[in-house]
């Protein structure tokens, strides 16, 4: 895959899907900014691992749900590299409860971390990428944005909002040479899905046409494609990476 840009910011990159996206993009020649909030050791270890394989990486600590910190983080990258070519809004949380038991704060906190942060990232990307009239953003949503899910009205609302927001940013970014796309991962083997009981995992696996949970690499490869020049005519789309679970 070809990349016209030189660097990428991956949010929530110290673990799971974000870490795999970081390794994948570094192996393709991009300088990766590994964002973390609370896992400094894992972020540092990831940087060392990337560098050991000949890649270039830097760590950057901020909480994506703090808009000032996010803006400041992007400024740090611009001050260092002179540009930001790509952004992957990957950081996300769950706080599952049945709707009847969900407090308004439980709803708002997930919206803030997952959706408001992605808005801030997309908006700041639009500002800084406009200067070069080049850039590409991928938002990591979820299959449950498309299907709904019991116990996740907060999470599904945040991930569904990401999908429609991605289309609006794609419309506003197109005249400036900036593409915005989203990915809806199905069930991917990471810490987030480790929380599920074996029984629930088996129930889902039985329903997945490809009969397995996805890997973080499956998502990383899709991210790399959407960011790359090979996807230069693709914007505003949602790429389902779910083993056929929802078509």
Is there binding between residue 70 and ligand NAD (CB under 6 A)? Answer: no
Is there binding between residue 18 and ligand NAD (CB under 6 A)? Answer: yes
Which residues participate in catalysis according to the annotation? 155
CB 122 within 8 A of CB 169: yes
Please identify, using beta-carbon distances, which residue of 11 and 235 lies nearer to ligand NAD: 11
Give the start-end residues of each E strand in 11-70.
Answer: 31-36, 56-61
Partners of residue 141 on adjacent β-strands: none
Please identify, using beta-carbon distances, which residue of 44 and 177 lies nearer to ligand NAD: 44
Is there binding between residue 192 and ligand NAD (CB under 6 A)? Answer: yes
> Measured between alpha carbons, how far is 145 from 158 in angstroms, rounded to an integer?
8
The Cβ of residue 12 has, within 10 Å, a number of other Cβ atoms equal to 25
CB 33 within 8 A of CB 9: yes
Is there binding between residue 113 and ligand NAD (CB under 6 A)? Answer: yes
Q: How far is CA 191 from the centre of its chain?
A: 15
Instruction: Tell which one of 64, 77, 115, 222 touches ligand NAD (CB under 6 A).
Output: 64
Tokens of 54: 């000949």
> Measured between alpha carbons, how far is 197 from 150 in angstroms, rounded to an integer?
15
**Within positions 149 to 188, which residues make up the interface with ligand NAD, using CB under 6 A?**
185, 187-188
Is there binding between residue 38 and ligand NAD (CB under 6 A)? Answer: yes
Instruction: Tell which one of 16, 121, 173, 243 touches ligand NAD (CB under 6 A).
Output: 16
> Measured between alpha carbons, how far is 137 from 226 in angstroms, rounded to an integer?
8
Is there binding between residue 37 and ligand NAD (CB under 6 A)? Answer: yes
- x/- mask, ligand NAD, residues 72-111, rule CB under 6 A, reads ------------------xxxx------------------
> Measured between alpha carbons, how far is 28 from 244 in angstroms, rounded to an integer?
27
Instruction: Tell which one of 7, 22, 24, 65 touches ligand NAD (CB under 6 A).
Output: 65
- Kindly list the residues in this chain that would bind ligand NAD in the complex (CB under 6 A): 11-12, 14-18, 35, 37-39, 63-65, 90-93, 113, 140, 142, 185, 187-188, 190-193
């Amino acid at each position: 895959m070809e990349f016209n840009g030189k660097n990428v910011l991956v949010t929530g990159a110290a673990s799971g899907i974000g870490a795999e996206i970081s390794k994948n993009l570094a192996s393709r020649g991009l300088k990766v900014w590994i964002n973390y909030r609370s896992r400094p050791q894992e972020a540092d270890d990831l940087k060392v691992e990337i560098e050991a394989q000949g890649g270039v990486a830097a760590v950057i600590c901020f909480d994506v749900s703090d808009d000032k910190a996010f803006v400041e983080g992007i400024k740090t990258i611009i001050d260092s590299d002179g540009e930001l070519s790509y952004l992957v809004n990957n950081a996300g949380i769950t706080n599952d409860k049945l709707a009847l038991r969900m407090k308004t704060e439980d709803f708002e906190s997930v919206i803030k971390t997952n959706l408001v942060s992605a808005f801030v990232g997309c908006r700041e990307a639009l500002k800084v990428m406009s200067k070069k009239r080049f850039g590409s953003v991928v938002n990591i949503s979820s299959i449950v944005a498309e299907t709904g899910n019991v116990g996740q009205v907060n999470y599904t609302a945040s991930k569904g909002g990401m999908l429609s927001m991605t289309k609006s940013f794609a419309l506003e970014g197109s005249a400036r040479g900036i593409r915005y796309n989203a990915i809806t991962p199905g069930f991917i083997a990471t810490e987030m899905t480790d929380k599920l009981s074996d029984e629930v995992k088996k129930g889902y696996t039985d329903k997945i046409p490809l009969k397995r949970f996805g890997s973080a690499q499956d998502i990383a490869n899709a991210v790399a494609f959407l960011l790359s020049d090979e996807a230069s005519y693709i914007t505003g789309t949602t790429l389902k990476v779910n083993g056929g679970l929802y078509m």
